[in-house]
Amino acid sequence: MLFGAFCDMKMLIYTNSIWVFTLLAVEAVKTYRSNPHFMLGDLKIPTWITPLVLVLFVSVLIPNTSFLGHVCGLLFGYGCK
């Protein structure tokens, strides 16, 4: 009962989404080191940019999401080695 008073289920979902974007950024950097681009037709797209595109899609498609929180998660993930 005490846990429910201090922790709301929505808050858990919000904080977990930041970790998801952190892990996506870490994996994008690892992929960039081994395979720097993927081809879409004749267009070369850097693999490290895909989490940024995903943040934009999530912020447009899902209302009331924390764009700043997701970007901070990405920055933290990009900074990890």
Taking the CB of residue 21, how many other CB atoms lie within 10 A of it?
Answer: 23
* Residue reference for tokens 């870490």: 26
Q: What is the pLDDT of residues 49-58, one digit of tens each?
A: 999 999 999 9
Residues identified as active-site: 17, 70
Beta carbons within 8 Å of 45's beta carbon, 6+ residues apart: 37, 38, 39
Q: How do residues 15-70 score in pLDDT, each as one tens digit?
A: 788 889 999 999 999 999 999 998 888 999 999 999 999 999 999 998 888 889 89
Using CA atoms, how far residue 14 sits from 10, 21, 59, 70, 81, in Å, is: 6, 11, 13, 9, 25
